[in-house]
A and B are shown apart, each in its own frame.
Chain A
């Protein structure tokens, strides 16, 4: 039996095509995945991401605990509401999950973790938290909706209570404002401006209906995937998992190496790989015809090889793009094997698209 978010009836009403995603029955698309993608780049779209989980951590040693738990350093979070993207690693540096940590106050941080990893994350976090006296509270009373696109912030602010609306008007990127059980973060997974909102399930449905009436286009997980791929953002379980470490997953930039004496879980194993990883993570654009998908072979003129981890048609670019994990020596011209044919591609620096503009 698949789990359903509070917005499930809305998806049915809107004619969504529903699929099993990590045990949840979620919309892959409503009418056209391409139209949904373009709506986010040009206007405003919204995504039910209530299958993802908010986890609240409480206790006076919460910051100290997170500096141990996470590979990025929450010491960077000094202003209330500030957010940080981080990997959570095993001792061997395998990636348990990628997440966003919000600092609310010294007794309260909030994590947002992936749907498919929630159960194991809660077990792992609980095990590590005990020594710090930190309590772990799974906020399954809250649902999450992402509203993204150049018009998204204006559309959301119109629907917020007065105090929260004023705060949301001026909130900075990767920063959240909150009042009561409403939490509004200026974050996203599309490469566009916008908000991700966490709020009680009943409020989530009302907000969704008001936004839809105001022209915010409901978007499915299909568009979410093409948008995040163009934005150069990794997907857990596809681009990285517990068998991969951040340095071979394009996530070296998220490691808080300084200060050198911060002993985060996975540090010892990861330090041994620093500058020595046999693999690296690259982004590529197909030059020939076709569509690159995940798990296609990549080869380079210098003999290096690898495999795509995510790939697809990039609607904003009208070409095909991919991420790939390849030998560290890979450089220069490359080819991707698409159904038996080697098709020319070139390496580029992600992101491919940001704020509606193609960058590569």
Chain B
């Protein structure tokens, strides 16, 4: 069973997003996604300062099997990227919601987060895939 924390919001391309106290958001890929990909061996995160549109392909996760694009759940500007993923991509497998976060950004409109899937909605989506 995949872990789908109720404190996060989700998009159907299997990213999660969380609002932080300073007005930025943090983004990663879900437990379901890391499990489907298998052992991750290479992660490329967007550069700080890059302006992203919603649903823009902006990062790559590569497992032993294949490469997959990662999409920006909402529009905004990248403020920080998780450098630990460069040398230890496996933390994305072992801890996708904490140590394996991918990037932070300042949203164009923080209210965009509220329109995304909640945990129940995402759980239903992956139940339908299984």
Interface residues, chain A, with chain B CB atoms under 8 Å away: 28-29, 32-34, 222, 226, 289-291, 293, 312-313, 315, 320, 339
Interface of A is mostly: mixed
Chain B interface residue number, banded: 10 to 19
Q: Which of A28, A290, A313, A315 has the most CB of B within 10 A?
A: A313
Known: A34-B64, A291-B41. 20 other contacts (CB 8 A): A28-B65, A29-B38, A33-B38, A33-B64, A34-B39, A34-B41, A222-B38, A222-B64, A226-B64, A289-B44, A290-B62, A291-B42, A291-B67, A293-B66, A312-B64, A313-B41, A313-B62, A313-B64, A315-B64, A339-B60
> Which A residues are CB-close (under 8 A) to B62?
290-291, 313
Name the CB-closest residue of B to A32.
Answer: B39
Tell me the residues in window 4-61 of chain B with beta carbons closer than 8 Å to chain A beta carbons: 38-39, 41-42, 44, 60
Known: A34-B64, A291-B67. A313 touches B42 (CB 8 A): yes
> Which B residues are CB-close (under 8 A) to A291?
41-42, 62, 67
Per CB-CB distance, the 7 closest pairs between chain A and chain B, nearest first, are A313-B41, A34-B39, A291-B62, A33-B64, A291-B42, A33-B39, A32-B39
B77 to chain A: closest CB distance in Å?
23
A40 to chain B: closest CB distance in Å?
14
Q: How far is the CA of A28 from the CA of B62 in the complex (A)?
A: 17
> Which A residues are CB-close (under 8 A) to B66?
293
Interface residues, chain B, with chain A CB atoms under 8 Å away: 38-39, 41-42, 44, 60, 62, 64-67, 90
Q: Which of B41, B65, B67, B90 contacts A339 (CB 8 A)?
A: B67
Q: How far is the CA of A29 from the CA of B66 in the complex (A)?
A: 14
> Which A residues are CB-close (under 8 A) to B41?
34, 291, 313, 315
> Which A residues are CB-close (under 8 A) to B90?
34
Name the CB-closest residue of B to A225.
Answer: B64
> Which B residues are CB-close (under 8 A) to A34?
39, 41, 64, 90
Known: A32-B39, A291-B41. A222 touches B65 (CB 8 A): yes
> Which B residues are CB-close (under 8 A) to A313?
41-42, 62, 64
Q: How far is the CA of A289 from the CA of B89 in the complex (A)?
A: 13
